[in-house]
Amino acid sequence: MSARTVSTAVLRLDGRLMEVSYKPIKNLRLRVLPPDGRLAVSVPLGVPLERIEDFVIANRAWIARSQTTVRMAAPAQEPLTDGGRARLWGRWHEVSVAGGSKASARRDGGVLRLVGKDDAARRRALDGLYRRELALALEPLLDRWCARVGRSPSSVRWRRMTSRWGTCNTRTAVVTLNVALAELEPWALEYVLVHELVHLHERGHGAGFTRWMDALLPEWRVRRRALRGRP
């Protein structure tokens, strides 16, 4: 038995399985571990189970944010090989791969046809396809939501991000959206777009922001919770 870790067990706390380690320490410590966002709690000796669960419950918001950050920083990726699969708009598509010096990607019904000399080239090509798909889906959403919000972005940019689904520069009115949104159901793109457009009225996430979101997208909290649980 280690001098630092007296005992370790996997327990269900607040409906979650997590590794609980009892140690000679003074304070409870909570960690979200890569790559899957699993939870680990370090607990001082003698602390009752009820106090540990209260601690986990009190940190629900932090857990949700941290799990999203960890999963997005190291998302689970399947190799882009012939006969493999990749996600587009919330569903898996078969991947067909061909070699070639010029990387490209296109959707052919339920098949994503990729050309590239290696996995990295094919992944870049797939991101290009994602950007095209997102641009097509975004056009009608912008027409609808800019009119309702009463604000329009100066431009919309696409970027692979590791900790956010979208950002809004309130000084320049530039909205940046995560390319990974193309892997999710269409409701995710709509929610993130509305969220960032509202920031053109409200910089933070205070009461004013909440009022705007409640008025525009009453179920926005449901979408936010679902999005936080996505890898």
CATH (domain of 128): 3.30.2010.10
> Strand 16-23 relative to strand 7-13: parallel, antiparallel, unpaired?
antiparallel
CA 49 to each of CA 53, 56, 116: distance values in angstroms, whole numbers, following the listed order: 6, 11, 53
Mean of pLDDT over the chain: 90
Give the rounded percent of residues in the chain with a pLDDT score beyond 90. Answer: 75
> Strand 91-98 relative to strand 111-115: parallel, antiparallel, unpaired?
parallel
- Does residue 34 have a pLDDT over 80? no
Does residue 2 lie within any of the structural domains? no
pLDDT of residue 1: 40
Q: Do 62 and 170 reside in the same domain of the chain? A: no
Final residue of a structural domain among 38, 73, 108: 73
What is the domain count for the chain? Answer: 2
Q: Do 69 and 93 reside in the same domain of the chain? A: no
Q: Contact at 8 Å (CB) between 202 and 210?
A: no
Give the integer Cα–Cα distance in Å for 150 and 197. 9
Mean pLDDT of 35-42: 85
Q: Name the DSSP class of 165.
A: S
What is the tens place of the pLDDT at every residue in 142-172?
999 999 999 999 999 999 987 789 999 999 9
Mean pLDDT of 60-85: 80
- Does residue 47 have a pLDDT over 50? yes
Q: Do 51 and 112 reside in the same domain of the chain? A: no
Q: Do 212 and 158 reside in the same domain of the chain? A: yes
Structure tokens at 102: 């010029």
Q: Do 120 and 188 reside in the same domain of the chain? A: yes
Give the integer Cα–Cα distance in Å for 122 and 128. 10
The one-letter amino acid at 50: E
What is the tens place of the pLDDT at every residue in 164-199?
899 999 999 999 999 999 999 999 999 999 999 999
pLDDT of residue 27: 95
Domain residues for the domain of 196 are: 85-228
Does residue 1 lie within any of the structural domains? no
Final residue of a structural domain among 48, 73, 98: 73
pTM (predicted TM-score): 0.70
Q: Do 166 and 214 reside in the same domain of the chain? A: yes
Q: Do 33 and 133 reside in the same domain of the chain? A: no
- Does residue 4 have a pLDDT over 60? no
